[in-house]
Amino acid sequence: MTHPAVLPATPDRTAISRDRFSEATAGHQMQVLHDDGLYRHLRFRNPDRGEYWYDLITAPGTLTITGDMGDFLFRRVEDMFDFFGSRNTTINGHYWAQKVVAGTTHEFDAELYKQNLTQEFFDVVGNLSHADRDDLWSDIEWQLFTAESTESAHAAMNEWSDSRMPLEDSFEIEVTSLSTTFLWCCWAIVTGIAKYRDAQQA
């Protein structure tokens, strides 16, 4: 099997999650269930159907998002609406994930895992014959690329014993990314806050 000539690109999860959020919530409306200083409860949903609804709930020092796409609790500053910004047009997923005290922010990323292993292959391929390159790549696809979870990826790398491409520091190879659910919820937060601020000024 012929090995790749260039490093594969990994999808832009932030952009993909933004587009999916925009499409899924195009008909959403905001309902203010409670609004008393830092104590807020806002609901966002399409009145004609229930899918992809979410609530934003704040108390001093915390913000919770809950709904069809998951549940996350953030803790950072007194007014968490200020933390996320009034009218952000982008998100800061990696930094915001550090402020999550409840909820799973990362998931197995098969594309990232394969990209990082392909880079390991590129690092050694110059020292190999053409036959060895193709043989090594075949083994990589057969023994490593079949992993379907974080656990199975680490297990596959730990069991790898081909001296042509040592994986002695496999624990340093990234196999997870911010989850699509978490990124979706980040977009939901900034969009919801912007709608709330706009309603306040109307």
Q: Does residue 134 form part of some domain?
A: yes
- CA pair distance 5, 28, nearest whole angstrom: 45
Is 60 exceeded by the pLDDT of residue 103? Answer: yes
Question: Does one domain contain both 20 and 99?
Answer: yes
Give me 37's structure tokens: 């200083």
One-letter amino acid for residue 64 of the chain: T
- By C-alpha distance, which of 168, 182, 173, 169 is closest to 150? 173
Question: Does one domain contain both 138 and 121?
Answer: yes
Identify the helix (H) or strand (E) that includes residue 137. Answer: helix 130-143
Question: Does one domain contain both 68 and 167?
Answer: no
Rounded to two decimals, the pTM is 0.91
Q: Does residue 94 form part of some domain?
A: yes
Average pLDDT over residues 147-174: 95
Question: Does one domain contain both 82 and 123?
Answer: no
Is 80 exceeded by the pLDDT of residue 202? Answer: no
Question: Does one domain contain both 145 and 132?
Answer: yes
Question: Does one domain contain both 161 and 185?
Answer: no
- CA pair distance 140, 137, nearest whole angstrom: 5
Domain residue limits at 149: 110-177
Q: Does residue 164 form part of some domain?
A: yes
Question: Does one domain contain both 58 and 96?
Answer: yes
- CA pair distance 77, 97, nearest whole angstrom: 15
Average pLDDT over residues 180-200: 96
Mean pLDDT of the chain: 94
Question: Does one domain contain both 69 and 84?
Answer: yes
Q: Does residue 121 form part of some domain?
A: yes
- CA pair distance 148, 68, nearest whole angstrom: 24
Question: Does one domain contain both 20 and 101?
Answer: yes
Q: Does residue 7 form part of some domain?
A: no
Number of structural domains, the chain?
Answer: 2
Question: Does one domain contain both 139 and 48?
Answer: no
- By C-alpha distance, which of 119, 107, 94 is closest to 14? 94
The confidence score (pLDDT) of residue 2 equals 75
The confidence score (pLDDT) of residue 168 equals 85
Is 60 exceeded by the pLDDT of residue 1? Answer: no
- CA pair distance 37, 104, nearest whole angstrom: 29
Question: Does one domain contain both 24 and 119?
Answer: no
Average pLDDT over residues 21-45: 97
The confidence score (pLDDT) of residue 19 equals 96
How far, CA to CA in Å, does 172 sit from each of 113, 116, 152, 168, 169?
11, 10, 15, 9, 6
- pLDDT tens, residue by residue, 34-66: 999 999 999 999 999 889 999 999 999 999 999
